[in-house]
Chains A and B, each alone.
Chain A
């Protein structure tokens, strides 16, 4: 069965520094996609970035990039030049085995300080 593991309950970083949020996954599907979402304290879920398993390059979206290591089954999110507004909970997700719904990891709380 598909599984997402986020081992960092909390991470702390100073403004303007880069931070990496870890995500490992387990799947038996040859083709799959990985997603990252941000949930600020206001509660909404914001889609950040997507990585397809057959994409030739690691995904990037502005200050967000994915360090995708297929052999290690990891898809770590890298946030460059952290901002105070990046303080939030971050979730990694993958489709379930049937492909009918995203399943999420337990999340990592990121705190950015000035």
Chain B
């Protein structure tokens, strides 16, 4: 029943590793997003993606890459993890023309040690 689901919920990994976070939505939304929430709770857009266009926030390092196998999935791959990547990562989705804002996943807490 979960509308936007992310896995894993927690991820602890060593510096230099490569990891992925998966996101799936069953709402039929046409656009998906990845946000990063830092230790000060500041939410920053990383990517937005629909079946036409990927929009990347230019401040996001190219170690981060979104992969969308289909409209319902937007996974986040991170290469060569750094300590500063530790944060909570939120996936979200929306449907064009719907004023209700975004539906967020429950977040993935990534800790790089």
Contacts and interface: CB of A to CB of B under 8 A. Distances in A.
Interface of A: 33, 35, 37, 39, 43-47, 50, 52, 89, 91, 93, 96, 98, 100-104, 106-107
Contacts, number: 49
A-side interface mostly: strand
Q: How large is the interface on B (under 10, 10 to 19, 20 to 34, 35 or more residues)?
A: 20 to 34
A98 B55 contact: yes
Interface of B: 33, 40-43, 45, 48, 55, 57, 88, 90, 92, 99-104, 106-107, 109
Contact of A47 (B33, B57, B102, B109): B102
A69 B107 CA distance: 33
A109 to B, nearest CB: 8
B41 A107 contact: yes
